[in-house]
Each structure stands twice: as structure tokens, then as C-alpha cells.
Structure 1
Amino acid sequence: MLRTGPFEAALDSAVRASGLSLERIQHRLAERGVEISVTTLSYWRRGRSRPERPQSRQAVRLLEELLGIPTDGLVSLLGPRRPRGRWVNRDSDVLETEHLWREFESLPELLAELDSTDDGLLRVAAHDSYELDARGAGARLTTRLALKATRDRVDRCVVVLRGEDPDTALPEFTDVRNARLGRLRSDRSVPLMVVELFLDRTLSEGGTTLIEYTLRFPGNGRRAEECGRGFNAPALLYTLEVSFHPDAVPVRCRRGFSAAIAWEPVSAEPVWISAAGRAHAVFENPGPGYQALSWEWH
């Protein structure tokens, strides 16, 4: 694996061979002055994100030492650091969908099948309410969106969704309000899903509408570790609520931001989990990028 990669496969193999838990690895990194969350380590191991920042590269070098890997054995698999420019168009602060989701190679093809790279809608405000089941897997996600047309003759909203487990069925769209379900395209290997929702009326530039929908997830998915939303352009408000089942409450929760979906968070702040097993975050004026809550299980 160290000769051929990829990075995540080599890291996963080394962790398994070491017999160390991610919690123990995190503790040993912290003893050396490097703070990396268990969630981030899990993402690196599963290929959902990659170490990019200087502190993360330092953590990888310490991982080589902790896991008995030759110097640069893992670092060499990362290659040069990627460009970190956040905006496609700095004058308008608009991030292209493919850039926001740039870790997902199949997305451009899925969008092309729906003849869409831009649906012409600004997400002015969003409210996501996510419920988990007794095993910690996603059960239901209800979304409410306030939308504004950026051009004339806008008649649909395109939704991009990433799942947790490629081995389970895709979620079901239900309770759609002020719109109707159109075509759906997916890449089950990620899993990734692109859906079009036809608006109840065609909007002229500056026109607004409110839509709502619920996703119901199959009952046999793996434990969820985060929930969030990617924004292509600045919005006014994003509110995210997560309701954990009393039999599956994580040990800690954080809110964070990253420049793209599946990238490690640039910032992470602790979030209180109530006695009822609920956590929330209010993101005011969220800019382009990915806003999310993530959590760690026992």
C-alpha cells in the first residue's frame, strides 16, 4: 500500500495493523501537541477528506511514527498541496457547484444528465432538521429553503445530496411543498444523488419562493457522523438542528466550516447537546463553502 497507495488505503491498513483505536491515536497526537479530531482521522482513513493544512501534514508525519511507517511513507502518497483558493469569481463570491463538490468526480456527469450546472436560484435562507435512529443512523431530514431567482424564467431547483453508506438504498423524497419531484440521477458508489424539483410557478429575476421537502432514509444505514449544507454563494441564515435518539447520543458535537464538501474543517467549535439529545447551530451570513455539525460516538 505504501508503494501504490492511495493514501486512505495505506492509512487504513496501517491503523488496522497497529491495533490502536482512533481515540488512542488522537490522544497520542494530542500528547505531541497536534489536535486532530477522531472524525477527521476517520475521514482521512475512509477517503472522505485529505490532510491539506500544515498542521494536518504534521499530524501525518507523527502518524508515520506512531504506526511504525517509514518516514514520508504516507506523506509521499499525498503529493503536493492543492491550491486553496476559495472563490471561482472573487468579485461576486460565487462558487461553482463542481468546485464546492470537487472531491466527487461523478457530479459533473450527473448534473449534465439534468442539463444543469446552475439552477438560477440563490439560497437566501435554509433550515435543516435531521433526526437519527436508535443505532445512530439517519432516519429523516426535513429541509426548508427560501429561494430567490438570479435570472428570468427559473422553474426548478436542483438539489445535490451525499449519503453516508453506499450499501443502503437511496433516501425517499416525501412531503414536497411548493414544488414537485422531477428527475433523479445517482452514483451509488459514493453515494451521491442529484434531484430536480419543479417549482409551482416560474420565477422572474428577483422573484422568491419557499420550498420544503423531507428525506426518509432506509433503516439499515451506518452510523452518521455529520450533517451540513454547502452554499455556492453568500446567504443570510442557515439553521441546522440535529435530534439524537435517547439510545444513541454522541459524546461530543462540533460546528465547523470547510471550503468544500468532504474537506477537513477549517474551524471547529464545541456545540452543546441538550439533555433531550438535541444540538443546533445558527450560521449567520454563511459564505460559500460547507457549514456543518459533526459528532463523535463512544
Structure 2
Amino acid sequence: MEAGFHDAFAEALARRGVTLSWLHERLVERGCPVSPTALSYWRSGRSQPERGTSLEALAEIERLLRLSPGGLSARLGPSKRPGPRPGERSMQEIFADSPGVLPALHALEFEGLYDELVEQLRHITVDIDEHGRATGMEVRAIMQARGNDARRTPLIVTLDGLDRAPEFRPVAGCSIGRTFLDPATGVFAAELLMDRSLARDETCLYELSVELGEPSDDAWFDHYAARRLGELLIWVRFDPSRLPSRLERYVRTDDGEEVTEVTLGGGRSVHALARGFGPGMLGIRWTW
């Protein structure tokens, strides 16, 4: 009979020759923290991964223990929670509100967002001009290789009224390969290439600027993290001649939306910072 999840987990730990403490530290480094107590319960069979964040961490555990994808997740028994497991969503469900994303990924020969590289940290800076419009943004990120010879990752921008494609301008650590534009759905996708191929678990940084094809007068900016990030930062900077009267930071997850009022504090910029965040959306919105 095939071993259950906890037996397979314990066997994989022993075969790799690592402790639960080592595994916990590596998961924290990768932005997928699981408590030592939870890992111990998984090994003993007292519990198993159930929540969306735990299932996301399980994929990292398989890589850290040098198992094939599904080597542990395929051994999970029936959920002990009523209803479907939280976070068990297909790519189609994740992008249900953006139907053009999956075709754009496939056009660039990606199966998903993290085929070769996973994002560990993302910092986004957005400038709002004197007319209250965003014309572009700057992005800095740290990526980690899921396997050897990893170099590619997709970039996706979704906008209303995409008459002209955005322009990605590499600043450091990367270049742009193929691109795909679907004006009907407002989706623009590009193939981002790191400066060199990476070995498994190796990290690299890149920086690029994004010039929007058409200035956006949306009174908000947000970013959706499809997986857990070690750190996500959004920094919105306003022209001093056009400052908002009210600002809110918001977080959207499967549990709903959490809103916190924020202020400029006499300055002209505001930021939202989240550590160990995702899946979910982090954003800032304002009124004039």
C-alpha cells in the first residue's frame, strides 16, 4: 500500500538528512513560513496541510526535499475541514475576472506564472502627475529559480481601454523577449529574461520601468500576489500640486477585504507594506 502523507513526509526528511528546524528556516527565506509546530504535526500525522498558504508551502517543501512535483501533495488524505480546501484553485479560477491572462501566458509558452522562477520580493513605485494620472511605474524584484537553467518569467499588465501597449524598459538585471497584446481584454504580457540562467534555488534581482500606453486616471493602485511573497511594497507618490483628500490601504483575500485609512502626514507620498503576504491583493486608493 502506498504510504500516506505523514509517512511520505517523514521518509523524505530522513532521506534528505534534514531537520524540521532546517526546513522551517528555508521556508521562511522563501516567503512560505510554516510554524515548527505545524511541520511536526504533519510529520506525526496529527494534521495535514489544509489552508491555501499551507498548500502553497507544500510545493516549496517538495522542492526543498528534492521530490517530484506532487510527491507529497498527491498523498494528502481527505480534508478534515468541511467543503473544499481553501486556496485550492486552478489558474482558470484565479484569473476568472481577467479572461485574457491565460491566453496571453500560453501565447508566450508559459503554463503559469511561476514555471521557472518564483518571486520572493516585489517593490513597486507609482508616480501620479499634476492631472491625477499614473503614467508609469518602477518595479524591483527578487526571483528564485525553481530548477536548473531557469531564466524566464512572465510580466502581465491589465488595463481598461488598452489602445496602445505599455512599454517595459529594463533598467538592470533583465531584458525583454517576446510580447503579446490583446486589446479586447486589456491584457499585455511580456517575456522577462534574466541576464543569465540560474541554478536551482539561486536568486537574482531585476529592475525595470513600465510606461503605460495611455495614462490611467484610476484613483487606486494594487497588486495581486498569486503566491506568498516575502515582502510586497507599493509606494504611491503624488505631484505636490495635486494631493488627495483621503487615502485608504486595502487588503483583499479569500476572507474578504480589510481597509485601513492612511495619511500623507504632511508629505506627498504613501506606501503599503506587507511581509509574508499572499495569495491576495494589496493596494492603495484615494479620493480627490
State whether TM-score is above 0.5. Answer: yes
1:261-280 equivalences under 5 Å are: 266-280=257-271
Instruction: Verify the 8 A CA contact 2:99 2:185 in the aligned structure 1.
Output: no
Instruction: Verify the 8 A CA contact 1:149 1:208 in the aligned structure 2.
Output: yes
When residues 193 and 199 of structure 1 are mapped into structure 2, their CA distance, relative to the original with a 3 A threshold, is same
Partner Cα separation in structure 1 for residue 181 and residue 53 of structure 2: 27
Partner of 1:293: 284
Partner Cα separation in structure 1 for residue 128 and residue 102 of structure 2: 30
| 1:154 to 2:145 alignment | no
Partner of 2:166: 171
Q: What is the SS of the residue equivalent to 2:106? A: helix
When residues 200 and 243 of structure 1 are mapped into structure 2, their CA distance, relative to the original with a 3 A threshold, is same
When residues 141 and 178 of structure 1 are mapped into structure 2, their CA distance, relative to the original with a 3 A threshold, is same
Kindly provide the amino acid, as one letter, of the partner of residue 244 in structure 1: F
TM-score, length basis structure 2: 0.65
Partner of 2:249: 255
Partner of 2:201: 206
| 1:197 to 2:189 alignment | no
TM-score, length basis structure 1: 0.63
Number of equivalenced pairs: 208
Q: Deviations over 1:269-289 (max 9, x none)?
A: 112224332111111111212
Q: Deviations over 1:75-118 (max 9, x none)?
A: xxxxxxxxxx9679464478765443320112111111111023
When residues 173 and 144 of structure 1 are mapped into structure 2, their CA distance, relative to the original with a 3 A threshold, is same
Kindly provide the amino acid, as one letter, of the partner of residue 121 in structure 1: L
Q: What is the SS of the residue equivalent to 1:112? A: helix
| Structure with the bigger percentage of strand | 2
Q: What is the percent sequence identity of the aligned residues?
A: 19
Kindly provide the amino acid, as one letter, of the partner of residue 223 in structure 1: D
1:1-298 equivalences under 5 Å are: 89=55, 91-92=58-59, 97-116=91-110, 117=112, 118-163=114-159, 165-166=160-161, 168-218=163-213, 221-259=215-253, 266-297=257-288
Partner Cα separation in structure 2 for residue 177 and residue 98 of structure 1: 33
Instruction: Verify the 8 A CA contact 2:120 2:230 in the aligned structure 1.
Output: yes
Partner Cα separation in structure 1 for residue 109 and residue 88 of structure 2: 20
Deviation at 1:259, TM superposition (A): 3.3
RMSD over aligned CA atoms reads 2.6
When residues 274 and 237 of structure 1 are mapped into structure 2, their CA distance, relative to the original with a 3 A threshold, is same
Instruction: Verify the 8 A CA contact 1:128 1:241 in the aligned structure 2.
Output: yes
When residues 284 and 183 of structure 1 are mapped into structure 2, their CA distance, relative to the original with a 3 A threshold, is same
When residues 280 and 265 of structure 1 are mapped into structure 2, their CA distance, relative to the original with a 3 A threshold, is farther
Q: What is the SS of the residue equivalent to 1:183? A: strand
When residues 295 and 97 of structure 1 are mapped into structure 2, their CA distance, relative to the original with a 3 A threshold, is farther
Kindly provide the amino acid, as one letter, of the partner of residue 128 in structure 1: I
When residues 101 and 195 of structure 1 are mapped into structure 2, their CA distance, relative to the original with a 3 A threshold, is same
Structure 2 unaligned segments of length 5 or more: list them: 1-50, 60-86
Runs (4+) off by over 3 Å: 85-100
When residues 107 and 226 of structure 1 are mapped into structure 2, their CA distance, relative to the original with a 3 A threshold, is same
Instruction: Verify the 8 A CA contact 1:96 1:232 in the aligned structure 2.
Output: no
The farther-off stretch of 96-105 and 129-138 is 96-105
